[in-house]
Amino acid sequence: MVQASDPDQLQDFCVADLSPTNPVIVNGFPCKPSANVTSKDFLFTGLTTVPTTGVKGTATFATVFEYPALNTLGISHARLDFGPGGVIPPHTHPLASETLHVLEGTIYTGFVSYEGVLYAETLQVGDLYVFPKGTIHFQINVGTTHAASLNALTSQDPGLLFVANYLLGSNIPDAVLETSLGINATALKYLQASLPYL
């Protein structure tokens, strides 16, 4: 048996056709006809606006869904903005590694390795940190002013799974969760009712 593949793209770009009527299923989206592509397709301005964060953390994404020019290119971006004490809760991107570049403020961030080791640092403006693919990671603004980062991910659609939500907001039987977390039914109901991202 012989198998072969081309590790590189077969064209320079493939601006996604996100039309729901297009029946073609591929790894990514079908290409918009090149005759309909303009330079505006390659521009994304969605990361220029600073969201009002209050004390929470806010993520603004530039994946293939917001930025169709990323289709087949294997990259995406996110901007994180935090008020003082703002948090992006523990989460994972099952389809991508990620880098975080601090634009302003002071951010404490880290990830948990497959061996259960926490690797974490307090980052300042200009610092860069990497989260290996599929690892659980988090961010918190530990400064007294607004903080922001620009993050790059190695997939056009990296996926986003908030750990608490996928564990406590799923249909896993309560008895399994109570035993696994070492809590009683009252504590479990309290936690399930407190999930911020349902």
Classify residue 166: in a domain, yes or no: yes
Classify residue 60: in a domain, yes or no: no
Domain range enclosing 169: 160-198
Classify residue 2: in a domain, yes or no: no
In which element (H, E) is residue 81 found?
A: strand 76-82
Burial 87-96 (b: 16+ CB within 10 A, else e): bbbbbbbebb
Classify residue 117: in a domain, yes or no: no
What backbone torsions phi and psi does residue 192 show, to the nearest 5 degrees? -65, -35
Locus of tokens 């600073």: 50
Q: Report whether 98 contacts 158 (CB < 8 A).
A: yes
Query: What count of residues does the chain have?
Result: 198
**Mean pLDDT for back-to-back runs of 10 residues, the chain (198 residues):** 56 78 67 92 91 77 94 93 92 95 98 96 98 96 96 94 89 93 94 77
Classify residue 174: in a domain, yes or no: yes
Residue 33 DSSP symbol: P
Q: From its phi and psi, is residue 190 left (phi > 0), alpha (psi between -120 and 50) or beta?
A: alpha
Classify residue 187: in a domain, yes or no: yes
Distance CA 193, CA 138 (A): 21
Q: What per-residue confidence (pLDDT) applies to 198?
A: 46
Classify residue 164: in a domain, yes or no: yes
Classify residue 40: in a domain, yes or no: no
What backbone torsions phi and psi does residue 193 show, to the nearest 5 degrees? -75, -15
Domains contained in the chain, number: 1
Q: What per-residue confidence (pLDDT) applies to 113?
A: 95
- How far is CA 109 from each of CA 75, 91, 127, 152, 169, rounded to the nearest angstrom? 22, 12, 11, 15, 24
Q: Report whether 96 contacts 130 (CB < 8 A).
A: no
